Structure 1
Amino acid sequence: MKKKLLFTFLLSLCSILPSLAQYNNWAVGFQLVEPSGVNLRKYFGENKAFDISVGTYGLFYGRDRKYRKGFYQNAGLSLRATYLWHRGLFKKELLHVYYGFGGQINSRRYYFESRNAPGLKEYTNNISLGGAGLAGAEYFVSGSPLSCFVEAGLYAELVPAIFYLHPQASLGVRFNF
């Protein structure tokens, strides 16, 4: 009798775990486009999440873009942390929409014309800091710990180039546990 009860309990637990994995837990995955890299998300409360993305900056948007008195000509690294609000749509709540705000720090080469040799380009490694806004949709695959997402946002740099704007959009997959 005890074995049957334990087996029933474990079977019940295994059947509800995929649905529990979709809410109020951790998710790790990867995303492509801008930024491309690793994504970590912590769901908490009924409708909040904290999202961290580490990846490329400027790989798809703005590889050759004017910046201050010079230009960007390459991709860099980015760390974005965003506080999100989300809510489920429809009865099954497999589709969630979300939005949020946070901060972002980037490292990228900044190219400019040399003061000592006109016509010669020099570069320096540039660290920038600014705010980030983000909105997206996430679909939780029924009976699976996987979710797919698409999101878009905007980075507004504060240091060193105040209000330098950089669009961001990505799609990806997360494993929820």
Structure 2
Amino acid sequence: MRKLILVTALALLGWLTMPTTARAQYNNWSVGVRLGEPSGVNIRKYFGNNHAFDLNIGTYGGLYGTKRSYRNGEYKSVGLTVQGHYLWHTALTKSESLRAYYGFGGQVNTRKFYNAGGNQSQLSIGGSGIGGLEYFPVNKPYSFFLETGAYVELLQAPFFLSLNTGIGLRYNF
């Protein structure tokens, strides 16, 4: 029994101290799912060692409640959004399995807006910023991410602010 424990301990110690050359598997493209605000399909294109473009296409207004004050009325439904960010990213670990990123871009939303005159479809456009962490399991083709940021509307309601947060999974190819 002692020999088995000693051999197991030595094997575990050898495995933990063994140098590894494995790298994270972030490649040219990744496609996945983002849950949060907005929720939907996420596509990322990597450029070089530390740049990327991130595109989200999905729903807007569901995470923080469908009923929200807006201009002289309110939103009461979920809408469609397209959000894009140019990103800078950097490795936080030697194996590059954990990366941090931040970026800036824009967002276009469509959503029904309700006021005393009834309801109407509302198109809004604004700027957004995002920051997050992405974990690439070593030698696996997928990654997990967690991010947060903000959207500031420019058209229709200047300076309307919305929090953008999300978690997700991407397949890297």
TM range (shorter): 0.7 to 0.9
Q: Partners of 2:51 and 2:125 in 1: how far apart?
A: 24
Q: Partners of 2:163 and 2:31 in 1: how far apart?
A: 23
Instruction: Tell me the amino acid that sits aligned with residue 132 of structure 1.
Output: S
Instruction: Tell me the amino acid that sits aligned with residue 61 of structure 2.
Output: G
- SS, match of residue 161 in structure 1: coil
Name the residue aligned to 1:132.
128
Tell me the alpha carbon deviations over residues 119-146 of structure 1, each in whole angstroms, 9 at most, x when there is no partner.
xxx1000000000100000000111101
1:136-151 aligned within 5 A: 136-151=132-147
Name the residue aligned to 2:101.
98
Aligned length: 153
1:63-142 aligned within 5 A: 63-114=66-117, 122-142=118-138
Instruction: Tell me the amino acid that sits aligned with residue 122 of structure 2.
Output: N
Distance change (3 Å), C-alpha of 1:19 and 1:26: farther
Identity of aligned residues (%): 48
- Contact kept, 8 Å, 1:62 with 1:72, in 2: the verdict is no
1:46 aligns with 2:49: yes
Tell me the alpha carbon deviations over residues 88-143 of structure 1, each in whole angstroms, 9 at most, x when there is no partner.
012111000000000100000000012xxxxxxx1000000000100000000111
Q: CA deviation at 1:62?
A: 4.0
- SS, match of residue 138 in structure 1: strand
- The unaligned stretches of length 5 or more in structure 1 are 1-15, 115-121
Q: Partners of 2:137 and 2:25 in 1: how far apart?
A: 11
Give the TM-score normalised by the residue count of structure 2: 0.85
1:168 aligns with 2:164: yes
Q: Partners of 1:150 and 1:69 in 2: how far apart?
A: 34
Give the TM-score normalised by the residue count of structure 1: 0.83
- Contact kept, 8 Å, 2:25 with 2:136, in 1: the verdict is no
Name the residue aligned to 1:22.
26
- The unaligned stretches of length 5 or more in structure 2 are 1-20
Q: Partners of 1:149 and 1:20 in 2: how far apart?
A: 14
CA RMSD of aligned residues (A): 1.5
Q: Partners of 1:19 and 1:95 in 2: how far apart?
A: 10
